[in-house]
Amino acid sequence: MRTISILIVMAAFLGGAFLTSLDQTYVDWAMFIPVMVGGVIGVVLMKRQEAAEARSSDKLANNRRVLEESLDNIVKNLEALDGRKDAIPTYDMRFEIDKLFRDDLFAFADARDSMKHIFGLQSYADIMSSFAAGERYINRVWSASTDGYMDEVLLYVEKSLSQFKHAKEEFDKAATAAQVAAVA
């Protein structure tokens, strides 16, 4: 179904482009409008398919595991980094960040929409608020490392750890609430 909807959108785009290229000053609206309506139908079909996939129990269970593992890894790696941040040269901190956090940050970001379905919007907002702040602080550490600002590197590693710990607490709280709601 997804392939069909993508093909519909592509055909509508190409058809619309072809119809508008036939004449510089005139568009045959009787042909153009149905082609664009077909494109809109393709987009609607694609969005419905994505929404159905996002709510599938297998995908939700897998994404929940990915979210939990990624967040655990981020907190664990940040605790280790915070403990040895003084020993890492300022300019090398960005390489440590890339090595330790890139995969887990991407994995979490790719799976984060599942939290809406698993925990609800309020819990999603609570978790993502702290996660986003922690991610901004990690990016700040990376930038400060590149620019050679040692004090800022040291400060924002600690701030990032605090935010990610809070995100982990919110995640654990939401997971417990979801588990209790499932049993009840």
Q: What is the CATH number of the domain that holds 106?
A: 1.20.120.330
* pLDDT tens-digit map of 115-132: 998 899 999 999 999 999
Radius of gyration, CA atoms only, the chain: 23
**Claim to verify: residue 46 and residue 60 sit in the same structural domain:** no
**Claim to verify: residue 119 and residue 32 sit in the same structural domain:** no
What global pTM score does this model have? 0.74
> What total of structural domains would you count in the chain?
2
* pLDDT tens-digit map of 94-114: 999 999 999 999 999 999 988
Provide the domain limits for residue 141: 56-183
**Claim to verify: residue 48 and residue 62 sit in the same structural domain:** no
- Choosing from 53, 70, 91, the residue where a domain stops is 53
pLDDT-derived band at 59, boundaries 50, 70, 90: confident
Instruction: Please state, in angstroms and rounded to a whole number, the distance separating the CA atoms of residues 110 and 69.
Output: 13
Q: Are 26 and 56 in contact (CB under 8 A)?
A: no
- Choosing from 53, 71, 87, the residue where a domain stops is 53
Could you give the dihedral angle defined by the CA atoms of residues 42, 44, 45 and 50, in that order, rounded to the nearest 10 degrees?
120
Q: What are phi and psi of 148, to 5 degrees?
A: 85, 25
**Claim to verify: residue 64 and residue 152 sit in the same structural domain:** yes
**Claim to verify: residue 8 and residue 79 sit in the same structural domain:** no
Predicted pLDDT of residue 54: 65
**Claim to verify: residue 122 and residue 63 sit in the same structural domain:** yes
